[in-house]
Amino acid sequence: MKSARSILITRLRAIALGGAAVGLAQLTLFGGSAQAVTVDKMLFLSTDVSGSINTSEYNTQRLGWSNAFLLPTIKSSIAASPNGIAVAVGQWDTVARTPLAIDWTLLTNSASVDSFAAQLATMARQGSGSTCVSCGINAAVASIQSAISSGLFDSATKIIDISSDGIENVTDDATVRAARDNAASQGIKINALAIEGDFGATGVTDYYKNNVITPTPPGSFVKTVTGFGEFQDAANIKLAQEINGVPGPLPVFGAMAAFGWAGRLRKRVKLAKRNLTAMA
């Protein structure tokens, strides 16, 4: 007979190494019914594949995210996460594309991150139509809620990371805001990576600030790049902010904090407090 501990380890390894579908099958096989794995974060990468993004720019996006996950600092942060993080990737243009480009996957160690990054690097494009931002948001929210309600994953921290070079041109701004508000009402944070170029210097950024990122939970932000040439650096910083919980767009200090300064600063503060207590 397997112990409860060994059964749990088997379940988690199945999800980490074999992906969400295999992991869910293991959960059912050994547990009788699926029970949600509580993770430290659920992160949904929502990617614009509309016609304004050419093949080279699409490749920049998928390789940019892949490279970001492979950063040693990111891999170390994920490995240090007590319960791991669950990540999925969706694409949208005129509609939200199905199935998910990459289904929900548990990342807990270097091997699982490498496998996920390899999927990102070879991820096929699913569309090239108009720009339905609300479709991307609604699909991401539905996927997060489905993962929770089906007993796959659950987390107190749920994030949609949406990247785009355009604004809504399928529905209207009110529909986008309604999608945003629905996400916020379910405790889902929306952050954005705005790629400028077609709408002036800050057109996409302003649109996402006003219509897309969530006012609650606190800490939502827009990361701006002036073109696809800056996408890699922005993806690196943005992913670090989201995985490490560094709030707001802090281009220099925030990036340094995300890559370890914050942890060292907290240790120094705690040490100083202990010294003050001892002297009192």
- Mind listing the pLDDT tens digit for each residue in 131-175? 999 999 999 999 999 999 999 999 999 999 999 999 999 999 999
Residue 72 is predicted with a pLDDT of: 97
Sign of CA dihedral 61, 141, 249, 201: positive
- The stretches in the chain having pLDDT less than 70 are 1-34, 246-280
Q: Where are the beta strands (DSSP E) in the chain?
A: 37-38, 41-48, 85-92, 102-107, 153-154, 158-164, 188-195, 222-225
Residue 258 is predicted with a pLDDT of: 40
Residue 245 is predicted with a pLDDT of: 80
pTM of the complete model beyond 0.85: no
Q: Residue 165 has which token pair?
A: 């070079």
**What confidence tens digit (pLDDT) does each residue in 250-267 have?**
443 333 344 443 344 344
